[in-house]
Structure 1
């Protein structure tokens, strides 16, 4: 299946995080400018919609130019079934206007896995409850990826262990850092001894078997923990 180019662009920023304190992450500030909100000069302003707009703009697609996630409910074409790269809009709590927007990756029976910005103050892959879904959108005039709508994933992510490499490992490392891994992991996509130790610590904290293997149960606990960070 050919990946949507804006999703491929978004993957390049996996692991990017806000800077704690008075300094601001330049790339996050750039997302605002690239998405049409150049007046924002900090990384504390909610930036999930800015990230989506910036990644669309990177390949020549105009987003909404707005910073509210729900603005994407009226953008592009509606989808009844999602495909990887679809823009997903979620509600937040009981608010009639707050929300979150990101790019669709896959799903389980109860959650939707997305790649997005401002997820635990970083660019990560995370899972959100299907009960929070407001809608799926697709850029008008762009054909769906070869293969059509995505099928539900059998598990939240691929099985990872010592020696694994790739984008899924980067997502795992980024998420573990957001959850407070000490020492912080280098987000390099290489499941080495430090990543193994962080996984074991996470598993012990969630009362899972500390086998250092990231399988379905650990992924589910990981996604739940990331979603709870906001």
Structure 2
């Protein structure tokens, strides 16, 4: 069971969530968290922080004044919520040829407006679309770039970070354009990036550090945690195609 699945099951047990049991940390979960926090007189943030998770562990059926019964201890993931949402799509691939992956196309429809009418085929670069989808899903109050399909436009997103941490949005230059993805870690010469349209799929790949253009963080997201994540190059392919 993922943290999101546990969270949704506990919010449902407390009568705060009536949405789908799909493991998606979207608007319905955020509103359920706010409802639960208000009922428990916790700061109403819509974020599953330590105090909220501790309160959710209690059995809602226990009478006031009776001995509380708790669920097992559940650690809050080190990765921010949008990165956990990104991992749900690991392995998803575009369809070569005239057909398109319906999941990728649904992201454009969800973002709506000109994006929905412009994005008509998954052969169009979709790294920015992927990041736009996970941010819009998990941080619905966050302002997206005016053109989220433009990878380098994400260099203006949110707020600037001096150095990457888990989940930071990073942009990179490449011949003829750019790329955007999420920081997983780094080795001596490469950043390890979780992103879309990496060899036509959602994957983790290594991108040369000298290509990095910007490091950003959502203004409405949880605070950055930790620092540099040191990894080895073993088992992670270097990027060969981001378009």
For the pair shown, the structure with the greater C-alpha radius of gyration is: 2
Instruction: Tell me, in whole angstroms, the C-alpha distance in 1 between the residues paired with 2:96 and 2:221.
Output: 38
Shift of 1:65: 4.6
Shift of the 89–35 alpha-carbon distance from structure 1 to 2, 3 Å rule, reads: farther
- Give the number of equivalent residue pairs: 160
8 Å contact kept, 1:106–1:114: yes
Deviations 1:152-174 (A, max 9, x none): 41414xxxxxxxxxxxxxxxxxx
1:35·1:63 contact (CA, 8 Å) conserved in 2?
A: no
- Corresponding position of 2:152: 70
Between the aligned partners of 1:65 and 1:32, the Cα distance in structure 2 is 14
1:15-34 per-residue CA deviation (whole Å, 9 max, x = no partner) reads 00011221110011112223
The counterpart of 2:226, out of the listed 134, 148, 151, is 148
Cα RMSD (Å) of the superposition?
A: 1.6
Gap runs ≥5 in structure 1: 157-215
**Could you say if the C-alpha distance between residues 33 and 65 of structure 1 is closer, same or farther in structure 2, counting changes exceeding 3 Å?**
farther
Q: Does 1:116 align with 2:195?
A: yes
Distance across 2 between alignment mates of 1:117 and 1:35: 16
Greater RCO, 1 or 2 (C-alpha within 8 Å, sep 6+): 1
**Separation (CA, whole Å) in 2 of partners of 1:143 and 1:14:** 23
State which of 89, 93, 105 in structure 2 corresponds to 1:29.
Answer: 105
Q: Which runs of 5+ in 2 are unaligned?
A: 1-76
Give the match's secondary structure for 2:223.
coil
* 3-state DSSP of counterpart to 2:201: coil
Q: Distance in 2 between matches of 1:64 and 1:100?
A: 14
Measure the CA separation in 2 of the matches of 1:30 and 1:89.
24
Give the alignment of 1:58-137 within 5 angstroms: 58-59=137-138, 60=140, 61-66=142-147, 67-93=149-175, 95=176, 98-137=177-216
1:175 corresponds to: none
After superposition, where does 1:164-175 map in structure 2 within 5 Å? none
| Aligned position for 1:2 | 78
Note the C-alpha offset of 1:86: 0.6
In 2, the alpha carbon distance for the partners of 1:35 and 1:133 equals 26
Scaled by the length of structure 2, the TM-score of the pair is: 0.62
Residues 35 and 51 in structure 1, CA contact (< 8 A), matched pair in contact too: no
TM-score of the aligned structures, taking structure 1 as reference length: 0.65
